[in-house]
Chains A and B, each alone.
Chain A
């Protein structure tokens, strides 16, 4: 069986081309924005798009990687499916990094790629690549369409798979003949069931009861929350749960903003460059409640020394995550939007004042050793931390913070304040340099009324700097904040700490970013003195449109605390 089961029986039919059917499907799924780049094998779809211009906004990116990162940013701030168009061959292979990124960070994405005519498949035709096999390991599902009749069903299935269960990227590869083919179109029927696909398990009350019993007996319970809370749209249920049970909660990088930073039970960020208290006390708590997170190695440090003393309750929608890295005492499979309220009902109202106090004590130690000097430095050179502090002061924590990858990412995640969910957009699992700028563009389209600030290193910006052209042409109001330390900072930090300061190819030179931005019609400035910082950040935010601010920061500053690779979380270093 090669073909999809076509569910819709034609009642009244119209003749449509495969290309039109693609666009009808997008409309039916409520898509308003497409990020894409045309080419030979997808020309019929772009031709059809000409007539849908009033209903579908297409953003012409400057590189397909930029297109998919933009779609990811869009998905992350809007909570909707991000859509990407690309042509066959190089267009499709340029998507691979973004697919891998979206896969590991569970972003709902639908990519439509053009493919050569069906009769040319396997002939090494011009711009033919085996996109299905190349992308299989980095997609939740993919499918090649060679007959237009399959298009409505394939797209319906694509949207269903991308956004349900644990979300992920889906790629539909459509041969050119199918795009051109006229067929009897019977309308679009959304997909809500695939027999071989069970996006969410039925919640078993037994687990919930066991979990509640453990929590009610606990003296030192500790909650870890990940992006699952955001993906499950369960922020309110999550807050209700921790508030009733009185449990301190720490975020993974991907979970940031699911709970407002200022919440009294928010005790910071986990992981390699996370906060001191949540890392240390992971190895002291008696019940560890993990919600929508997957115990990534950057979170756990050395696994055989991770939370050995604790009972583990793991709430996740993906059964493959349960027991994958850490054995759960009680697994609570299910959508946390369903399981959390059930759990909240069964837990007793508590307040673990003393236990929470331990977090606050250790926090003081971290403030004294690290945070205070990072945010209020007396050094001559600016620190990344004080830039973020200034940003917090001027946005009040209302901005969407998009980051690239490196030291600036960790500093931003550590210090940025978030008042509302879906405000932190970063490449967590894959750590993709070059993610920041295009993701910020998409993030802005996902929520155009909010201030979107892209915090990017001098290395990462140069990986996808061409997307300034997209901003120039389509006007996304992205604030680009380059934290320039004239190094590939994070790698330099490791070379300093673990390779005897043998700086091997981490010294990177940059163009004059302000001039580059100017070339793209984007205003900006570069500063290096403390006295200019506040005004410069304020100018950037106040400007009605995109703006580039480069801040020259200390060249050899390090991000601390740090859990060195191979160490336990309790061995976190403050310096």
Chain B
């Protein structure tokens, strides 16, 4: 895809777990009038390091500059960004529907099967289903259930695993060294000498 075109990017941040991080990060987007589609914070694979997963719809250039600005935050260790095909990602959704609809309306049961939803709680009056998947699947199920008295619906932020990441353990060690490691910013010119010298 042309990198001047807007598309969904998943930004993955590794940060210290300090108070106010969400605010600091979110103002970097809001200052530039960029909408955050979803934001998740959680622990990461590295102990004591927090992981932010942020989804935005932007061009590659904007996302790259944003990540640089984010990395300027003293408590951010690293910012990565990936396109959808570079990550494994999921969102989770919970649906509350009247139990009678599930028991009495055959299409509802079919729908739930079709989307792989499973029951979390079953009560006389309502049942809560859970499903996980891509946005489109969740949205489709939501739309379908809307016709059957969907009482409550909630969808989580995206969480994503970067396909070719080795995790943060090694990087964290580099960051902990007093002497800085080479990688601080990746060099996208190094192996492109010919492109530089076209005078």
Contact = CB atoms under 8 A, between A and B. Distances in A.
A319 B23 contact: no
Interface stretch (A15-23, A111-119, A197-205, A232-240): A197-205
B199 A330 contact: no
A329 B180 CA distance: 25
A161 interface: yes
A136 B27 CA distance: 9
Nearest to A2: B19
A333 B178 CA distance: 19
A318 interface: yes
A196 B196 contact: no
B185 A193 contact: no
Nearest to A329: B196
Interface stretch (B70-78, B83-91, B100-108, B119-127): B70-78
A207 interface: yes
A1 B48 contact: yes
A210 B193 contact: yes
Nearest to B64: A323
Interface string A507-518: 000000000000
Interface in A179-234: 192-198, 200-202, 204, 206-207, 210, 213-214, 217
B68 interface: yes
B165 interface: no
Contacts of A198: 175, 180, 184
Given A137-B27, A204-B190, A210-B193, A196 B199 contact: no
Interface stretch (B10-18, B109-117, B137-145, B148-156): B10-18
A202 B180 contact: yes
A196 B20 contact: no
Interface string B1-31: 0000000000000011111100110010001
A197 B23 contact: no
B65 A324 contact: yes
Interface in A113-154: 132-133, 136-137, 140-141, 144
Given A196-B15, A196-B77, A197-B74, A320 B176 contact: no
A201 B69 CA distance: 15
A286 interface: yes
Contacts of A195: 77, 172, 175-176
Contacts of A324: 65, 68
A163 interface: no
A194 B74 contact: yes
A286 B180 contact: no
A296 to B, nearest CB: 16
A195 B15 CA distance: 10
Contacts of B76: 196
A330 B23 contact: no
Nearest to B193: A210
A196 B13 CA distance: 12
Interface residues of B, number: 37
Interface string A400-429: 000000000000000000000000000000
Contacts of B72: 318, 320
B25 to A, nearest CB: 10
A334 to B, nearest CB: 10
B15 to A, nearest CB: 7
A213 B193 CA distance: 11
A319 B185 contact: yes
A311 B199 CA distance: 8
B184 A202 contact: yes
Contacts of B175: 195-196, 198
B41 to A, nearest CB: 13
A320 B184 CA distance: 12
Contacts of A161: 74
Given A196-B75, A196-B175, A320-B72, A133 B185 contact: no
A220 B17 CA distance: 50
A457 B199 CA distance: 47
A489 interface: no
Nearest to A318: B72
A379 to B, nearest CB: 46
Nearest to A204: B187
A551 to B, nearest CB: 41
B190 A201 contact: no
Interface in A286-312: 286, 311
A331 interface: yes
Contacts of B189: 207, 210, 330-331
Contacts of A192: 178
A429 to B, nearest CB: 15
A202 B179 CA distance: 9
Nearest to A219: B199
Interface string B173-199: 001101011101101011001001101
A-B residue pairs, 6 tightest by C-beta: A320-B68, A201-B184, A141-B74, A319-B185, A195-B175, A196-B77
Given A132-B20, A136-B20, A198-B180, 4 more contacts: A136-B24, A196-B75, A202-B181, A323-B65
15 contacts: A2-B18, A133-B20, A136-B20, A193-B178, A198-B175, A198-B180, A198-B184, A202-B180, A202-B181, A204-B182, A204-B190, A311-B199, A319-B71, A324-B68, A333-B184
